[in-house]
Amino acid sequence: MSHSTPDLSAAAWRKSSYSGSSDPNSCIEVADGYTGIVPVRDSKDPQGPALTFTDAAWTSFVTAVRADEFPTA
């Protein structure tokens, strides 16, 4: 299966609702509107790299976050 990197230059980024408000420097941003993928980037480095996840992988991750399945420290 071949994957190409999408052009994210015109992406409309939004802060994740799961980014903690207690530390504004620990935020991720996601971009909507890309078929089959979810682009994610670090809000502290908006010109830096973005990761892309399949819809299924992102859904699994968000489900695990909501279920508090990750240790916090």
Q: What is the pLDDT of residues 6-15, one digit of tens each?
A: 889 889 999 8
Residue 16 structure tokens: 């994740």
Distances (CA, A) of 9 to 34, 47, 64: 13, 10, 30
> pTM of the predicted model, to two decimals?
0.77
- Residues 30-59: tens digit of each pLDDT: 999 999 999 999 988 988 899 999 999 999
Tell me the average pLDDT across 22-28: 71
